[in-house]
Amino acid sequence: MVSEGYLSKIKFALRTVSTDDNVELEITDIIEECRAKMISLGVDEGVANDEDNYLALGCVRSFARSKFSLDADDQEKNMADFRLQVDELRKAVIDNADS
């Protein structure tokens, strides 16, 4: 489930103010796809779905920007950012568990 507030944050990151239901549905699907990808890469499901976790939000923003980018260089840059952020998120969770 994606809250309206979270959807708004990602829409802002994508620089879109569209209220078109199809655009919002596509962005929601991308958020859910990103969460699934984060989980498949080893991020805890609760962390990936935590809308108050700013590190997870950063991952979702980078992932969504890569999906909406029309420029191949921007797509790759945003996916590289996503992968780096996922690694940092996994490390932060591991570090917190060890504490």
Average pLDDT over residues 25-38: 97
**Residue 95 — pLDDT band, cuts 50, 70, 90?**
low
| C-alpha span between 92 and 88 (Å, rounded) | 6
pLDDT recorded at residue 91: 85
pLDDT of residue 22: 87
Please choose, from the candidates 78, 94, 86, the residue with its C-alpha nearest in 3D space to the C-alpha of residue 55. Answer: 86
Q: What is the mean pLDDT of the chain?
A: 91
DSSP class of residue 71? S
Backbone dihedral region of 15: left (phi > 0), alpha (psi from -120 to 50 degrees) or beta?
left
* Model confidence at 97: pLDDT above 70: no
Average pLDDT over residues 54-76: 93
Mean pLDDT of 44-61: 95
